[in-house]
Structure 1
Amino acid sequence: MRDDRDDPFGDIFDEIERMMSEMTGAAAGEAGAGDAGFGDETHVAVYEEGETLRLVADLPGVEKESIDLQCDGRTLTVSAAGASRRFDERVRLPVRVDEHSASASFNNGVLEVTFDALEPSADIDVE
């Protein structure tokens, strides 16, 4: 059994945890924290489903009309405004997508965006 009193890094980890708690508290509601991006209450997941890529994001308290989506084929930028905060997130996609194939839906605070995945770049043989 390990004795934590002999842990030379314990104080460092305690300080890191304290600082993270302060930052999380600031993101949750202190003045000026509304533009911090997605917070603890927001979950973003990306799924590769064969030739389709699907992104699902929880945007609590957001109205559909306030959502702005931009994609360059590699990164999806999600901006949205709620009554008490603003969400801004750049999500690096795991594969290149056809941004013109995008479709999006928003229902009960859940944003779902789908794209057609593009084929990987072709190898070029050197002769």
Structure 2
Amino acid sequence: MRDDDRDDPFDEFFDEIERMMNEMMGPNANFHFEHNSGRAGESDHGGHDVHLDIHERDDEIRVVADIPGVEKEAIDLQCDGETLQLDAGNGERRYSERISLPGRVDEHSASATYNNGVLEVVFERLDDSTSIDV
């Protein structure tokens, strides 16, 4: 029997964590714990896990993602103003991540840099309210 044919002894543990997090966060919660049953650093969908940070300011949202081992030309970014889809890869590594942004952004204002395996994408925030002249 191969290692990947066996049941993972931690599956029930991670399922219970997901259940408790969804219960705590309310009826609209959809918490999912990324549990890797394959090789270290590789997710269930065949790609590598993306470590990312989101930084918020009054006027911008910045997403910083670690995606080492790919060329800049192999990075594909798509944004609809609410989510950022990141796809990148080469023959050895594959990254795919859908990131819910913490606020609405102007996707046409995006600027991105990639240096030493670190991707940084900056968006201008859209105002949530509009002033109305009377």
TM-score, structure 1 length as denominator?
Answer: 0.69
Instruction: Report if the CA contact (8 A) 1:52-1:116 is conserved.
Output: yes
Of the three residues 64, 67, 76, the one matched with 2:84 is: 76
Higher relative contact order (CA 8 A, sep 6+): 1
SS at match of 1:28: coil
For the structure 1 residues 78 and 60, does the alpha-carbon distance in structure 2 shift closer, same or farther, using more than 3 Å as the test? same
Instruction: Report if the CA contact (8 A) 1:80-1:88 is conserved.
Output: yes
- Residue in structure 2 matched with residue 59 of structure 1 by the alignment: 67
1:49 CA displacement: 1.8
- Residue in structure 1 matched with residue 13 of structure 2 by the alignment: 16
Cα deviation code 1:22-47 (max 9, x no counterpart): x52415378xx6844442xx311111
CA RMSD of aligned residues (A): 2.9
User: Which amino acid is 2:99 matched to?
Assistant: V
Same amino acid, percent of matched pairs: 53
75-84 or 99-108: which moved more? Answer: 75-84
Gaps of 5+ in 1: 1-11, 18-22
More helix by share: 1
Instruction: Report if the CA contact (8 A) 1:62-1:83 is conserved.
Output: no
- Residue in structure 2 matched with residue 28 of structure 1 by the alignment: 40
1:102 and 2:99 are equivalent in the alignment: no
What is the total number of aligned residue pairs between the two structures?
A: 104
Separation in structure 1 between the aligned mates of residue 62 and residue 11 of structure 2, nearest angstrom: 38
TM superposition outliers: structure 1 runs of 4+ over 6 Å: none
Q: Computing the radius of gyration over CA atoms, which structure comes out larger, 1 or 2?
A: 1
1:90 and 2:98 are equivalent in the alignment: yes
